[in-house]
Amino acid sequence: MNTAPSPASPLWPGSGAHLLEAVRSWIAQDPDAETRQELEKLVATATDPSAGEKAAQTAVADLAQRFSGTLQFGTAGLRAELGAGPMRMNRVVVQRAAAGVAAHVLEVAGGDAERAPRAVIGFDSRKNSQVFAQDTAAVFTAAGLETLIMPRPLPTPVLAWAVREYDAEVGVMVTASHNPAADNGYKIYLGGRAVEDNGRGCQIVPPHDSQIAAHIDAVGDLRQLPVAQDGWTVLPYLVESHYLDAIVPGGTGGTRESAANPGLPGAATAPAGAGASSSPKIVLTAMHGVGGPTTVEALARAGFADVHPVRAQHTPDPTFPTVAFPNPEEPGALDLAFELAREVGADLIIANDPDADRCAVAVPDAHHPAFVDGWRMLRGDEVGVLLGLAALRYHAGEAGAVVANSIVSSRWLGRMAAAAGVEHRETLTGFKWITRQPGIIYGYEEALGYCIQPQTVRDKDGISAAVAVAQLAQQAATLGRSLADELASLAVEHGLFTTDQLSIRVSDLSLIPQMMTTLREHTPTELAGSPVVEVRDLANPPADSPLPPTDGLLLLTADDTRVIVRPSGTEPKLKCYLEAVTEVGDVVDLPAARTESTKRLSAVATQLQALLSA
- Asked whether residue 374 falls in the same domain as residue 512, the answer is no
- Asked whether residue 125 falls in the same domain as residue 218, the answer is yes
**Per-residue pLDDT at 1:** 42
Q: What is the mean pLDDT of residues 435-458?
A: 96
Whether 100 is in a domain gets the answer: yes
Report DSSP letters for 488-509, one per residue.
HHHHHHH-EEEEEEEEEE-SST
Nearest C-alpha neighbor of 301 from the set 363, 361, 386, 241:
241
What pLDDT, in 10s, does the model give residues 62-104? 999 999 999 987 766 899 999 999 999 999 999 999 999 999 9
- Asked whether residue 207 falls in the same domain as residue 265, the answer is no
Of the residues 473, 492, 511, which one is the last residue of a structural domain?
Answer: 492
- Asked whether residue 221 falls in the same domain as residue 264, the answer is no
**Per-residue pLDDT at 544:** 86
* Torsion region of 133: left, alpha or beta (phi above 0 gives left; psi -120 to 50 gives alpha): alpha
- Asked whether residue 186 falls in the same domain as residue 219, the answer is yes
- Asked whether residue 225 falls in the same domain as residue 368, the answer is no
- Asked whether residue 182 falls in the same domain as residue 283, the answer is no
Contact 158, 240 (CB under 8 A): yes
- Asked whether residue 112 falls in the same domain as residue 101, the answer is yes
Whether 287 is in a domain gets the answer: yes
Q: How many CB atoms lie within 10 A of CB 508?
A: 9
Q: How many CB atoms lie within 10 A of CB 3?
A: 13
Owning domain of residue 499: 495-612
Of the residues 462, 492, 522, which one is the last residue of a structural domain?
Answer: 492
Task: Locate the DSSP E strands across 158-241.
Answer: 170-174, 183-190, 202-203, 233-234
Whether 10 is in a domain gets the answer: no
**Per-residue pLDDT at 6:** 52
Cα–Cα distance, 575 to 591 (Å, whole number): 28
Of the residues 451, 467, 492, which one is the last residue of a structural domain?
Answer: 492
Whether 4 is in a domain gets the answer: no
pTM above 0.85, yes or no: yes
Task: Locate the DSSP E strands across 235-302.
Answer: 282-285
Whether 451 is in a domain gets the answer: yes
Q: What CATH number does the domain containing 204 carry? A: 3.40.120.10
Q: What is the mean pLDDT of residues 529-558?
A: 93
- Top-ranked range on mean pLDDT: pick from 203-207, 298-302, 500-504: 298-302
Where is 451: in which H helix or E strand? Answer: strand 449-451
% of the chain surpassing 90 pLDDT? 79
Whether 7 is in a domain gets the answer: no
Task: Locate the DSSP E strands across 74-144.
Answer: 78-81, 118-123
Our count of domains for the chain comes to 4
Identify the active-site residue in 125, 129, 177, 464. Answer: 177
- Asked whether residue 226 falls in the same domain as residue 367, the answer is no
Q: What is the mean pLDDT of residues 115-140?
A: 97
**Per-residue pLDDT at 51:** 75
Q: What CATH number does the domain containing 548 carry? A: 3.30.310.50
What pLDDT, in 10s, does the model give residues 251-286? 754 332 333 344 443 333 444 444 445 789 999 999
- Asked whether residue 347 falls in the same domain as residue 472, the answer is yes
- Asked whether residue 342 falls in the same domain as residue 397, the answer is yes
**Per-residue pLDDT at 354:** 97
Whether 298 is in a domain gets the answer: yes
- Asked whether residue 366 falls in the same domain as residue 267, the answer is yes
SS3 196: coil
Whether 28 is in a domain gets the answer: yes
50 belongs to the catalytic site: no
Q: What is the mean pLDDT of residues 236-255?
A: 83
Rounded alpha-carbon distances, angstroms, from residue 512 to 127, 464, 538, 611: 29, 35, 16, 13
Cα–Cα distance, 210 to 73 (Å, whole number): 8
